[in-house]
């Protein structure tokens, strides 16, 4: 599986057999990043806010997955877990869906705009997490400290931070630095290449991240985005 960060909370995942999953594509005018032309098989939307709900970005043929529940799409099982966009049970910013699914033998969990630490029931439903996409920028989601608590709750093998301040972002969030401080991490790197057999990712320096090295450590990998550090988020 190849993982590419397209900015904010948006990721493109491509399996070894060519299946593409797009998660939380944004309305460009609302975020400040630019999206490349995309054609995805599945598009997953964690909640109906403009910085996460640009279904059209996935192309006309994408199967749209939205809201809590159990789904089967392209012969893949996906699970949407009910959660909230704030720590007031949604009274401030509404609902949020955590999505879990398996691709190339890797158990993926995307937390969307999670606004609170997880309950015991949510932890049990989510289950094993190999690859975790976690918001860390605070203000509208969990902050760095709560993100650390969620890491301890889920014990992911690899965690990729998202939803934090960059030069391109058109509204204020906290930077990723607070989350990274004191944590072992690698990157920024252009993409993450993983297999279920050995959970191997190669960063820009050629260093390998193996399942043996990462198991139980919650290794943090920072991904780079071509438009993240450009004011206005333009694509050259």
Beta strands 10-14 and 2-7, pairing class: antiparallel
Beta strands 106-110 and 192-193, pairing class: unpaired
The sign of the dihedral angle between the CA atoms of 43, 188, 177, 107 is positive
Residue-wise pLDDT tens digits, 145-193: 999 999 999 999 999 999 999 999 999 999 999 999 999 899 899 999 9
- DSSP-derived letter for residue 168 is S
131 contacts 194 by C-beta, under 8 angstroms: yes
Residue-wise pLDDT tens digits, 13-29: 999 999 999 999 999 98
Residue-wise pLDDT tens digits, 46-83: 999 999 999 999 999 999 999 999 999 999 999 999 99
The answer as to whether 67 is a domain residue is yes
C-alpha 61/C-alpha 40 separation (Å) is 8
Nearest Cα neighbor of 156 from 220, 99, 208 is 220
- DSSP-derived letter for residue 89 is T
How sure is the predictor about 218, in pLDDT bands with cuts at 50, 70 and 90?
A: confident
Residue-wise pLDDT tens digits, 25-43: 999 988 989 999 999 999 9
SS3 state of residue 39:
coil
The answer as to whether 229 is a domain residue is no
The answer as to whether 233 is a domain residue is no
The residue count of the chain comes to: 236
C-alpha 22/C-alpha 78 separation (Å) is 13
SS3 state of residue 160:
strand
CATH of the domain at 165: 3.60.15.10
Total of domains in the chain: 1
The answer as to whether 228 is a domain residue is no
Consecutive H or E run containing 181: none
The answer as to whether 235 is a domain residue is no
The answer as to whether 192 is a domain residue is yes
The answer as to whether 31 is a domain residue is yes
Domain hosting residue 99, numbered range = 2-223
The answer as to whether 230 is a domain residue is no
Q: Which residue has the tokens 């594509």?
A: 25
How sure is the predictor about 235, in pLDDT bands with cuts at 50, 70 and 90?
A: very low
Please check the confidence at residue 236 and state whether its pLDDT lies above 50: no
How sure is the predictor about 12, in pLDDT bands with cuts at 50, 70 and 90?
A: very high
């Amino acid at each position: 599986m190849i993982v590419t960060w397209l900015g904010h909370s948006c990721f493109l995942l491509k399996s070894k057999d060519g299946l593409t999953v797009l998660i939380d594509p944004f309305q460009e005018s609302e975020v400040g990043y630019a999206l490349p032309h995309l054609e995805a098989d599945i598009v997953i939307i964690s909640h109906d806010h403009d910085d996460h709900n640009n279904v059209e970005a996935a192309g006309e043929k994408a199967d749209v997955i939205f809201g809590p529940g159990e789904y089967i799409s392209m012969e893949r099982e996906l699970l949407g877990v009910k959660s909230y966009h704030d720590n007031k049970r949604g009274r401030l910013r509404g609902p949020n869906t955590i999505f879990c699914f398996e691709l190339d033998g890797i158990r993926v969990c995307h937390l969307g705009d999670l606004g609170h630490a997880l309950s015991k029931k949510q932890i049990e439903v989510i289950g094993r997490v190999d690859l975790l996409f976690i918001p860390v920028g605070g203000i509208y989601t969990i902050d760095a400290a709560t993100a650390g608590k969620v890491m301890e709750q889920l014990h992911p093998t690899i965690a990729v931070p998202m939803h934090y301040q960059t030069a391109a972002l058109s509204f204020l969030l906290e930077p990723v630095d607070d989350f990274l401080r004191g944590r072992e991490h690698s990157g920024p790197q252009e993409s993450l290449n993983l297999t279920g057999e050995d959970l191997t990712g190669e960063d820009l320096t050629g260093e390998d991240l193996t399942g043996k090295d990462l198991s139980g450590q919650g290794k943090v990998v920072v991904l780079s985005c071509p438009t993240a550090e450009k004011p206005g988020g333009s694509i050259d």
